[in-house]
Structure 1
């Protein structure tokens, strides 16, 4: 076991859990409310449904380590839009966590190969 892979596992599970919780909160609060908020910022309301689905499903998949290379770019884009559309005018302390999430997503995209993931288990079975 490499400490790098354990560190990647911790980051992957944390980011997946964080996005799942945010998406589930949007779902529980009524996605239509989020859609209205999106529209008030000039973002099409239907995007709220897409973001919520990406956060919930993507978060669960990321925790399991399935499709990391495909999910993390979506998370990265979500965080960049949040920073630019919502928090940029509020100063660095308002969006430093969002930058951290974006950086973790980018790291996981660039280092998506981990033996502690379903992707690795499925790849090994196909090779055998």
Structure 2
């Protein structure tokens, strides 16, 4: 068996868990913990979005992060989070490319968008709820 076949599930799991932790950090620690629900909703309103979208993004990032860490519905969750990152990319687009500029550039959220698409393509990998069988395997019965 080629080495890539045996290591791919672990690489997919590493990507999935890292993304999940990043979403938790951005949703729970940055948006909810640092800015608060009201602050995040106010920011969304200040940039022309419905303020309630801030709450939706917080929920998506926290729940999506937990789902990715657990490996639950990984392909669907990855695709569902793409619009969140596309929105972040658009928000940072006017600041320039590098994320170290004032207001943050667009390269980090754009790269993160690509990693979500890769995750959707390769699946959950090892140590994931997605890997569990929904139905039991047939059992051979002795005659």
* TM-score of the two chains, using structure 1 as the length reference: 0.90
Please identify the structure whose Cα radius of gyration is greater: 2
Determine the structure 1 residue equivalent to 2:96: 91
Determine the structure 2 residue equivalent to 1:69: 75
Greater helix percent: which structure? 1
In the comparison of the two structures, how many residue pairs are matched? 125
Determine the structure 1 residue equivalent to 2:117: 106
CA distance in 1, matches of 2:126, 2:14: 13
CA distance in 2, matches of 1:2, 1:77: 32
RMSD: 1.5
Hey, which bits of structure 1, 4+ residues long, moved more than 3 A? none
CA distance in 2, matches of 1:67, 1:27: 24
CA distance in 2, matches of 1:54, 1:24: 10
Asked whether 1:35 is paired with 2:44, we answer no
- Alignment gaps of 5+ in structure 2: 99-104, 138-143
Asked whether 1:4 is paired with 2:8, we answer yes
Deviating more after overlay: 9-18 vs 70-79: 70-79
CA contact (8 A) 2:12 2:126 kept: no
* TM-score of the two chains, using structure 2 as the length reference: 0.81
Deviating more after overlay: 24-33 vs 102-111: 24-33
- Alignment gaps of 5+ in structure 1: none
